[in-house]
Amino acid sequence: MIRTTDQEKEPVPVGMIWGLQRRLLVMLMLPLGLVALVSVWLHYQSAGTAALQQDQQLVRLVPLLADSVVVRSRGPDGAPVTTDGDGLGPSPRLAMLLAPPVGEFLREREGFAAYGIFDAQGRLLLGDGWLPTVLPVTDEPEFLSVVEGGVTYRLVAQRSSSSAGELILMLADGSDAQQNWLSTVMIRVLLPNLLLLLVAASAVTWAVSRALRPLIDLKQAVERRSPRDLSPLEAGTAPTEVRPLVASLNRLFALVDAQAEAQRRFVADAAHQLRTPLAGLQAQVEAWAQTARGARPGDHVQLQVDQLLRLRDATRRTSQLANQLLALSRADSLSADAQPMQQVDLQALSEAVLPLFLDATAAKQIDLGLEAAPSQTLGHAWLLRELVINLVDNAVRYTPDGGRVTLRCGQAGRGLPGGAWIEVEDNGPGIPADQLPHVLQRFYRVPGTTGEGNGLGLAIASEIARAHHTSLQLMTAAGGSGLLVRVVFAPLPDSGQPG
């Protein structure tokens, strides 16, 4: 079975929507990323400032550390102190009486601060033994960083004169802001900003999707439309920014609809105006043909008869073309206007159409049959009548003499889905498979086809079927030759038929 149906619409790509969403995300995320980078840079500058302040604090405390060195004349046991020791440990002659600022500094940084008192040769006299030996060349303070126990210390060493002689004073601070700025930035800046970016990206994605929803709804509303549906789009629900686009589309739809309506009116008016004079001309030609046939035989008379018959046939074809153009225009207009449908009795319609073809079938000795069963559908009776007339006329026209044409109608059953159905079957030449996609086009005739025709019969039937939300099904007749055209309608709303 070969069926011709409308091609399914492929979904329109949403690359435009996603592209717009990505652009909005990038435009919103870039400033947040720049803010994070600026925050890192500012934090680094702050760490450098803190390190400079730390160095300045150490420089201020070194003189106080020198003033904290006291020279003792007697040891703890009361014995006089006469030497500075062996240089391998703290000097028994010196003692520390820490100045309050130095003592407060060491207490606040307990475990992360150290001091050392060295003689001019670099021998440790007092303080922490892990401090390195530094011999400043001048009296200016010298700074260096030392790692001890996994802690980075900022250390200052300065040569100074005191009551104990020339000493080298060292003070170390393990809270070096600039040395530890990377871990601080990771914990306090980068990680919070990364979390902020993720949360912002999720929120912005949701917000952008919600904001673009009216635009996506508008796109889908346009996609779902029939090519003949040119009614205005609803602009009230569209965002303010999109309303000018909707208004432009509505103006375009109105212009196209007006142009299409003008073309439909022209075709309808032209066909209607042609019908009356063609009907009168055909009546006159038919009368002349009957008169000529009754004349006495003769070559001259026979020539006149042949000319009249050809003129009659041409007049019939022109009259039929005008009627078909009028039916086609009405079908187009109906598709566009979507007039309300009424219940139609297909059995009564078929019985009324069949007598119209008795003369034509009798002239070709065609067996014209009717197999009608009670069947009801929703539609336009005058259009469905045109559909049946065109299908039967097409079958009679192309069926050879002595052939067979059968008109059938019925309700769902016989393995057919849907509601009521109607079909026309003949045993004529049929339609080649490669021509099936083209025979529903207007004014198309299968190459090599004999007989009269305008190529509009099946096109009109297809247009009427489309107006009733169905389509023609073209297939080979049961005998293996000929054409069977079937139209299956949707079931009635309260018929209970399977659909």
Write down the pLDDT at residue 205: 76
Domain termination site, one of 121, 153, 183: 183
Q: Using one digit for the tens of pLDDT, what is the confidence trace for 244-297?
A: 888 888 888 888 877 777 676 666 666 665 666 667 666 766 776 666 666 555
Write down the pLDDT at residue 293: 62
How much is the pTM?
0.43
Kindly state whether residues 27 and 112 are assigned to the same domain.
yes
Kindly state whether residues 169 and 246 are assigned to the same domain.
no
Kindly state whether residues 275 and 376 are assigned to the same domain.
no
A 10 A CB-CB count for 394 gives: 23
Q: Using one digit for the tens of pLDDT, what is the confidence trace for 319-329?
A: 666 666 666 66
Asked whether the predicted pLDDT for residue 341 surpasses 50, the reply is: yes
Asked whether the predicted pLDDT for residue 464 surpasses 80, the reply is: yes
Give a yes or no: residue 481 inside a domain: yes
Write down the pLDDT at residue 214: 76
> CATH number, domain at 179?
3.30.450
Give a yes or no: residue 201 inside a domain: no
Distance, in Å, from the CA atom of 292 to the CA atom of 290, rounded to the nearest integer, reads: 6
Give a yes or no: residue 385 inside a domain: yes
Kindly state whether residues 38 and 103 are assigned to the same domain.
yes
Q: Pick 490 or 321 by higher pLDDT.
A: 490
Q: How confident is the model at residue 86 (pLDDT cuts 50, 70, 90)?
A: very low
Kindly state whether residues 322 and 373 are assigned to the same domain.
no
Q: How confident is the model at residue 334 (pLDDT cuts 50, 70, 90)?
A: low
> CATH number, domain at 495?
3.30.565.10
Q: Pick 205 or 289 by higher pLDDT.
A: 205
- The crossing angle, in degrees rounded to 10, of helices 243-293 and 299-337 is 160
Give a yes or no: residue 219 inside a domain: no
> CATH number, domain at 290?
1.10.287.130
Give a yes or no: residue 4 inside a domain: no
Give a yes or no: residue 204 inside a domain: no
Give a yes or no: residue 190 inside a domain: no
Write down the pLDDT at residue 377: 92
Domain count for the chain, please give it. 3
Asked whether the predicted pLDDT for residue 105 surpasses 70, the reply is: yes
Write down the pLDDT at residue 1: 28
If you average pLDDT over each of 141-155, 201-215, 353-367, 414-428, which comes out highest? Answer: 353-367
3-state secondary structure of 268: helix
Domain boundaries, position 313: 225-338
Exposure string for 263-288, b = 16+ CB within 10 A, e = fewer: ebeebbeebeebeeebeebbeebeeb
The rounded radius of gyration (Å) of the Cα atoms in the chain is 52
Kindly state whether residues 29 and 127 are assigned to the same domain.
yes
Residue 330 contacts by C-beta under 8 Å, 6 or more apart in sequence?
268, 382, 383, 386
Q: How confident is the model at residue 376 (pLDDT cuts 50, 70, 90)?
A: very high
Instruction: Please give the distance of CA 453 from its chain centroid, rounded to a whole number.
Output: 47
Kindly state whether residues 144 and 130 are assigned to the same domain.
yes
Write down the pLDDT at residue 148: 83
Residue 239 contacts by C-beta under 8 Å, 6 or more apart in sequence?
211, 214, 215
Residue 118 near residue 124, CB atoms below 8 Å: yes
Kindly state whether residues 133 and 282 are assigned to the same domain.
no
Kindly state whether residues 322 and 402 are assigned to the same domain.
no
